[in-house]
Amino acid sequence: GAVVSQHPSWVICKSGTSVKIECRSLDFQATTMFWYRQFPKQSLMLMATSNEGSKATYEQGVEKDKFLINHASLTLSTLTVTSAHPEDSSFYICSPGGAGANVLTFGAGSRLTVL
Amino acid sequence: GENVEQHPSTLSVQEGDSAVIKCTYSDSASNYFPWYKQELGKRPQLIIDIRSNVGEKKDQRIAVTLNKTAKHFSLHITETQPEDSAVYFCAASRGGGADGLTFGKGTHLIIQP
């Protein structure tokens, strides 16, 4: 699977601020990037799928205006949590995909805590 | 969309015994079924996967079986060791790298010494 670099690994912010999470696919041309969210003691849930150069597709119940995804290149995708609130506190994980991605691996995850 | 059910939610076995975790899926178009191990605070790690053209796959102490007709697949861990303690997730997708994964709710495997 792809080697993935995700930053930051953890972030604490005040309510109302925005946080940007970066995901880099180091050895694979990721035409697709999957973004997941995992609340404590729960499973991973797919939030959105982004395709390089086009708009992301969001899963039902995920606000596209709150979770801004940019996938401008084959190696970098970003997730921005805008106007974060305590209920957005979660573990956010990226996973590069697309044609040729036979195995799906994950970034190390970003643990967001909103005070 | 796809729905993946996973059982049991917690499984406690004696060290050296076998552990079996079962999952069912709903989308007959799903053709890729990975299993992930997640330790506390870390990313999920792929431990084994199976595609729909195969009924069984084995890698040392870990094996996965797939029954496409019944839409269920299982993870088998033999000769369990303390380091096998973790949360295990099954997942399903239509494969091809273009579709995201739908995960089961996870099984907390506890290996009793």
Interface test with A, best of B87, B101, B102 (most A CBs within 10 A): B101
Q: Categorize the per-residue pLDDT at A72 as very low, low, confident or very high, splitting at 50, 70 and 90.
A: confident
Tell me the pLDDT tens digit for each residue of A16-55. 999 999 999 998 888 899 999 999 999 999 999 998 888 8
E strand segments, chain A: 4-7, 10-13, 19-25, 32-38, 44-51, 57-58, 67-70, 76-81, 90-97, 110-114
Which 3-state string (H, E, C) describes chain B? CCCEEEECCEEEEECCCCEEEEEEECCCCCCEEEEEEECCCCCCEEEEEEECCCCEEEECCEEEEEECCCCEEEEEECCCCHHHCEEEEEEEECCCCCCCCEECCCEEEEEEC
pLDDT for the residue A24 = 94
Residue in chain A lying closest to B98 (CA) = A98
| Cβ-defined contact of B43 to A99 (cutoff 8 Å) | no
Residue in chain A lying closest to B31 (CA) = A102
Nearest-Cα distance to chain B for A98, in Å, is: 5
Nearest-Cα distance to chain B for A32, in Å, is: 7
Q: Tell me chain A's radius of gyration from C-alpha atoms.
A: 13
Is residue A1 predicted with pLDDT exceeding 80?
no
When CB atoms are compared, the residue of A32, A43, A108 closest to B104 is: A43
Q: Categorize the per-residue pLDDT at B72 as very low, low, confident or very high, splitting at 50, 70 and 90.
A: very high
Average pLDDT, chain A: 93
Q: Are B76 and B58 in contact (CB under 8 A)?
A: no
Which residues of chain B does A107 touch, with a Cβ-Cβ cutoff of 8 Å?
Answer: 43
pLDDT for the residue A67 = 96
Which CA distances in Å does B20 have to A63, B52, B75, B89? 37, 20, 6, 12
Q: What value does the mean pLDDT take over residues B89-100?
A: 88
Is residue B96 predicted with pLDDT exceeding 80?
no
Question: Dihedrals φ, ψ of A80, to 5°?
Answer: -110, 120
Which residues of chain B does A95 touch, with a Cβ-Cβ cutoff of 8 Å?
Answer: 100-101
| Cβ-defined contact of B100 to A100 (cutoff 8 Å) | no
Counting one residue from chain A and one from chain B, the pairs whose CB atoms sit within 8 A come to: 55
When CB atoms are compared, the residue of B43, B49, B104 closest to A103 is: B49
Average pLDDT, chain B: 95
pLDDT for the residue A80 = 97
